[in-house]
């Protein structure tokens, strides 16, 4: 396996250090490097905190800054951060209004963030929002509930913008919970993930196979299908989402996300197809995002995310943001 790394054991630490050095205008290390926090905290603002295993960059560290996250905690590759890391983020970013934890719905993440929230509760006001946007996990019927995948970005953005405007903790919690049924994602892969410390891919596909319903930790999906045209693949994803999402309006945000090894030209082609298919369903795409934001290391694949938003939420999306990965209106 060829990787630009020194050792698998030091890869995450060296990568995160490089990220902080490259984006010092936005971020700084927390105490003992337990988290990455916003360089300039806002007194009296609710702190928005997230995190997860490494391997999903730029999620979440690339979203730390004005209008999004106040801190992100990074675990080992595809491994939850520890409660100690999360408590450190809470301690460093709570400037008096409390903290909201945005947590992807994976067992390890939920357990460790819940434990940290309980341990910090005597000193801080802490609430938690789960992101549960993946269509695929409900199909699996194994009791896990929906995974949090690329749609997590939308939740973090809207909550970060609302916090920047001064929304209190209880209101932010209510916004986050209300978004859950209105955001859905589904992914597809042309290759598995090459994990550095195991020196092998998470699953192997034949030259004429694709994996439908993959997760962002390199999990295989619900079915292995014959390779097909982009229109066929994206129609499958888009219609699965439309059939699963809670629709309160016909106005939506469409997000096509690269999983790490897919070039921009293919992502824009997929966006064009998804936009056309959703228009066939009578939907109006009011906002869009295309790019590589929530990855699974080097997986060649993509996901489609649809979010039904109201006018106030579109206003939050449009408000100024300044992070390493997202920047507009500043």
SS (H, E, C) 17-78: HHHHHHCCCCEEECHHHCCEEECCCCCCCCEEEEEEEECCCCCCHHHEEECCECEEEEEEEC
Q: What percent of the chain shows pLDDT beyond 70?
A: 97
Residue 186 has a pLDDT of 97
Segment 134-155 mean pLDDT: 79
Using 50, 70 and 90 to split pLDDT, how confident is the model at 139? low
CA distance 2 to 195: 11
Domain with CATH 3.30.1180.20 in the chain: 182-312
Residue 98 has a pLDDT of 98
CA distance 101 to 86: 9
Using 50, 70 and 90 to split pLDDT, how confident is the model at 327? very high
Residue 220 has a pLDDT of 85
Residue 213 has a pLDDT of 93
Q: Phi and psi (nearest 5°) for 46?
A: -60, 135
For the chain, what is the mean pLDDT?
Answer: 95
Q: What CATH number was assigned to the domain covering residues 11-181+318-328?
A: 3.40.50.10440
Using 50, 70 and 90 to split pLDDT, how confident is the model at 138? low
Domain with CATH 3.40.50.10440 in the chain: 11-181+318-328
Segment 131-156 mean pLDDT: 82
Fold of 182-312: Hypothetical Protein Tm841; Chain: A;domain 3 (3.30.1180)
Residue 200 has a pLDDT of 72
Whether 275 is catalytic: no
Residue 137 has a pLDDT of 67
Lowest-confidence range among 17-31, 182-196, 301-315?
182-196
- Backbone CA torsion sign across 278, 234, 325, 107: positive
Catalytic option among 56, 60, 275, 284: 56
What SS3 state is found at 288? strand
pLDDT digits over 265-297, tens only?
Answer: 999 999 999 999 999 999 999 999 999 999 999
Cis-peptide, bond into residue 60, ω within 30° of zero: yes
Question: Do 208 and 224 meet the contact criterion of CB atoms below 8 Å apart?
Answer: no
Whether 197 is catalytic: no
Catalytic option among 124, 217, 275, 284: 217
Question: Do 63 and 156 meet the contact criterion of CB atoms below 8 Å apart?
Answer: yes
Closest of 166, 182, 198 to residue 133, by C-alpha: 182
Using 50, 70 and 90 to split pLDDT, how confident is the model at 1? confident
Residue 25 has a pLDDT of 96
Segment 172-199 mean pLDDT: 92
Q: Is the pLDDT of residue 143 over 70?
A: no
Q: Is the pLDDT of residue 2 over 60?
A: yes
Segment 123-150 mean pLDDT: 83
């Amino acid at each position: 396996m060829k990787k630009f790394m020194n050792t698998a054991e030091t890869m995450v630490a060296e990568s995160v250090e490089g990220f902080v050095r490259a984006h010092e205008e936005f971020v700084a290390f927390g105490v003992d490097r337990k988290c990455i926090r916003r360089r300039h905290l806002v007194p009296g603002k609710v702190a928005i905190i997230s995190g997860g295993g490494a391997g999903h960059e730029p999620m979440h560290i690339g979203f730390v800054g004005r209008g999004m996250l106040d801190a992100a905690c990074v675990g080992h590759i595809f491994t939850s951060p520890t409660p100690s890391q999360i408590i450190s983020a809470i301690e460093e970013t709570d400037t008096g209004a409390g903290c909201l934890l945005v947590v992807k719905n994976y067992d390890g993440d939920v357990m460790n963030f819940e434990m940290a929230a309980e341990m910090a509760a005597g000193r801080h006001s802490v609430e938690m929002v789960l992101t549960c946007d993946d269509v695929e996990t409900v199909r699996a019927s194994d009791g896990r509930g929906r995974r949090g995948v690329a749609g997590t970005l939308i939740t973090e953005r809207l909550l970060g913008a609302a916090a920047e405007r001064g929304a209190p903790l209880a209101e932010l919690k209510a916004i986050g919970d209300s978004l859950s049924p209105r955001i859905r994602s589904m992914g597809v892969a042309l290759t598995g993930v090459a994990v550095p410390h195991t020196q092998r891919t998470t699953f192997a596909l034949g030259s004429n196979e694709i994996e439908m319903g993959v997760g962002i930790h390199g999990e295989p999906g619900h079915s292995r299908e014959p390779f097909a045209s982009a229109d066929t693949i994206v129609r499958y994803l888009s219609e699965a989402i439309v059939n699963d999402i809670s629709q309160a309006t016909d106005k939506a945000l469409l997000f096509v996300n690269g999983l790490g090894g897919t070039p921009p030209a293919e992502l824009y082609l997929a966006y064009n197809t998804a936009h056309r298919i959703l228009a066939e369903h009578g939907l109006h795409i009011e906002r869009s995002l295309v790019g590589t934001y929530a990855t699974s290391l080097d997986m060649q694949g993509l996901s489609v995310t649809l979010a039904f938003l109201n006018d106030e939420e579109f206003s939050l999306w449009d408000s100024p943001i300044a992070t390493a990965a997202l920047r507009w209106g500043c």
